Amino acid sequence: MQSILTERVGRAELTELLTASDSEAAPADEAGPLEKLSADIQHELMQRGDEQDSLRDRLGIEIVDVRIRRLNLPTGNMQAVFERMRSERQKIAERYRSAGLAENRMIRSQADRQAGELMAKASAEAERIRGEGDAAAIRILNEAYARDPEFAGVLQTLEAYKHILNERTTLVLSASNSLLKLLVEGVPTPHESPRATEPSALEPANAGASR
């Protein structure tokens, strides 16, 4: 039995034996690492009938259950075991850290790609709306200029003033220059076309005709 116990414990990973089987790490009804190791040892004892027969013949006892209550580390090996535990934990932490960094890079790459696609769509939509707005503005201006050419000329002259003149601008122009026309003559008065005289509702249409 001692040989089986030594062999099974020697093959077990130290991290498995030290893993706690609490409510956060494992289900409540799941056996812990020591319970699993005890069950494996008992199963192997049952498989070796000669061990059972020897104990029954020599001592009159039969092994029906095996339980490991505690594992003690040899004092001389304690530091080495702690170093091994630390090394194993560091490897596990590094593995999780590498997986987290890879996941982080993948998420950032997906987010950057989606952001680029959204920005491209937004820019294209903005250009389309700006183009439609410019076309509508030009159409409205052309319609307004067509209805009142004189007013259109005034607007064009004022627009030219805005682009040419500032606080330090000095212009030397001839009296006949079109830019001076608005300053000299002022805004032209719109011409009203005479309207035809309509008969009064109180007078008959042939009031002025002789009978």
pLDDT digits (tens, 9 = 90+) for 15-71: 666 654 444 444 555 666 677 777 777 777 666 656 666 666 666 777 777 776 776
Token output for 9: 């414990």
188 and 154 in contact (C-beta within 8 Å)? yes
The position carrying tokens 């020591």 is 34
pLDDT digits (tens, 9 = 90+) for 121-166: 999 999 999 999 999 999 988 888 888 887 787 778 888 877 777 7
pLDDT digits (tens, 9 = 90+) for 60-108: 777 777 776 776 766 777 788 788 888 988 999 999 999 999 999 999 9
pLDDT of the residue at 203:
42
What is the domain partition of the chain in residue ranges? 1-71, 73-167
pLDDT of the residue at 102:
94
Token output for 73: 């580390």
Amino acid in position 126: A
Burial of 55 (0-12, 13-18, 19+ CB in 10 A): middle
Q: What is the DSSP string of 34-80?
A: HHHHHHHHHHHHHH-HHHHHHHHHHHS--------------GGGHHH
Distance CA 162, CA 129 (A): 27
pTM here is 0.38
Distance CA 145, CA 159 (A): 14
